[in-house]
Amino acid sequence: MSDAQIIGWGHTVFGKSDQPDTENLMAQAVAEALEHAQIDAEEVDGIFVGVFNNGFSKQDFQAALVAMGDARFAHTPATRFENACATGSAALHGALDFIAAGRGRIALVVGAEKMTATPTAEVGDILLTACYRNEEADVEGGFAGLFGKIAQSYFQQYGDRSEELAMIAAKNHANGMANPYAHMRKDFGLEFCNTVSEKNPRVAGPLRRTDCSLVSDGAAVLVIADPETAANAPRAIGFRARVQANDIMALSRRDVLEFRGARMAWTKALEQSGLTLDDLSLVETHDCFTIAEMLEYEAMGLAAPGQGHRIIREGITRKEGRLPVNPSGGLKSKGHPIGATGVSMHVMAAMQLMAEAGEMQIPDAKLAGVFNMGGAAVANYVSVLERVK
């Protein structure tokens, strides 16, 4: 669909950062990305910034902060995007459209968030702005409470799958051990993840702490370019497909277990690319909660509704399985700085396709799928990436 290609990237370590704000986080990742792509700041025609914010910082107007970190961008057009947890993917789509329209030849996609400086109670309330507050603002447990309700509904309809959720958590934490950018590089093991304890308490409904992604700081940057420019770059990753599909925001107005918007995005992306899931070498998916990853197995077509538990039990999505899912550790281990997440997922996939993923590497990776969602499967983005050079 788009001729634009990824030619470089930068990525900070996710976690509790010493950097005081998004301005500094973005500056660090942008500098790394320019060096990686071997381009100068003056060559960049547009900057597309994804920061959720909405209360994490009193400083907004985040698109202008890139030039505060590097004055060479003072006169480069910069625009800020926000689409809940899919903010980074929204910024990427804006940049891809910019290149495809011929308005520029090189663009930066910058995703960032500074979350850990905000008190925990405030974090929960800020994240609830990604739900339909008219109906869902008072849910106990914040956004985890929403997914706790989703997990409860799933269990009521298909049986208790707590152990399979723990298997997903254990898989992703084990994968994250190999990711130098990950927030939580610790292999907890299945028994710990599956046991409610003082260190792993229930957070909301059947979800335990190990079923929930982390509150993190971080930034990630992609450099994208038109094909002529990419032909002279040291590396190039193309888009076989890129799709966005939305669903209604209010949970009361849809069957949330269907993840219909996610299913639509995957179906369209596979049709657009001319591929099937069997053609993919790996998938980076949005495991904000383990129940989300299980539902995404069903939405992408790996399993029928209610059968997602079989996918993790059969080892299909393990690193050595038929379709590795989240070899980076996913949001569960890598962390989830909201605005950076969608950009980071594409960086992780691109690293795999360029065989630059180090200990995370999936052997002979040729094609990668990326699924990023905002809210409870409201804004859904799927990319299918392939190495061009």
The percentage of the chain sitting over the pLDDT mark of 70, rounded to a whole number, equals 99
Domain count, the chain: 1
The answer to whether residue 35 sits within a structural domain is yes
Tell me the per-residue pLDDT of 178-225, one tens digit each, with 9 for 90 and over.
Answer: 999 999 999 999 999 999 999 999 999 999 999 999 999 999 999 999
Tokens of 315: 């080892």
The answer to whether residue 97 sits within a structural domain is yes
Tell me the per-residue pLDDT of 286-315, one tens digit each, with 9 for 90 and over.
Answer: 999 999 999 999 999 999 999 999 999 999
Using the predicted structure, report yes or no on whether residue 94 has a pLDDT greater than 90: yes
Q: Give the position of tokens 């799958």.
A: 161
SS3 297: helix
Residue 26: which residues within 8 A CB-CB, separation 6 or more?
Answer: 49, 65, 66, 69, 110, 112, 219, 221
User: Catalytic annotation on 212?
Assistant: no
Using the predicted structure, report yes or no on whether residue 2 has a pLDDT greater than 80: no
Distance, in Å, from the CA atom of 293 to the CA atom of 290, rounded to the nearest integer, reads: 5
CA proximity to 243, closest of 337, 373, 52: 373
- Calculate the average pLDDT of the chain: 97
pTM of the entire predicted model: 0.98
User: Catalytic annotation on 85?
Assistant: yes
Tell me the per-residue pLDDT of 18-34, one tens digit each, with 9 for 90 and over.
Answer: 999 999 999 999 999 99
Q: Other C-beta atoms within 10 Å of 84: how many?
A: 22
CATH number of the domain within which 50 lies: 3.40.47.10
Using the predicted structure, report yes or no on whether residue 149 has a pLDDT greater than 50: yes
The answer to whether residue 270 sits within a structural domain is no
For position 68, what pLDDT does the model report? 98
Give residue 47's domain range: 5-118+215-230
For position 39, what pLDDT does the model report? 98
Distance, in Å, from the CA atom of 102 to the CA atom of 112, rounded to the nearest integer, reads: 26
- 284, amino acid identity: E
Q: How many residues would you count in the chain?
A: 389
Q: Active site residue: 11, 36, 309, 336, which one?
A: 336
SS3 387: strand
Tell me the per-residue pLDDT of 52-70, one tens digit each, with 9 for 90 and over.
Answer: 999 999 999 999 999 999 9
The answer to whether residue 30 sits within a structural domain is yes
Q: Active site residue: 85, 131, 193, 212, which one?
A: 85
For position 152, what pLDDT does the model report? 97
pLDDT band at 1 (very low <50, low <70, confident <90, very high): very low
The answer to whether residue 83 sits within a structural domain is yes
The answer to whether residue 168 sits within a structural domain is no
CA proximity to 32, closest of 110, 94, 99, 86: 110
The answer to whether residue 260 sits within a structural domain is no
Mean pLDDT of 235-263: 97
The answer to whether residue 93 sits within a structural domain is yes
Which contiguous run of DSSP H or E holds residue 339?
Answer: helix 338-353
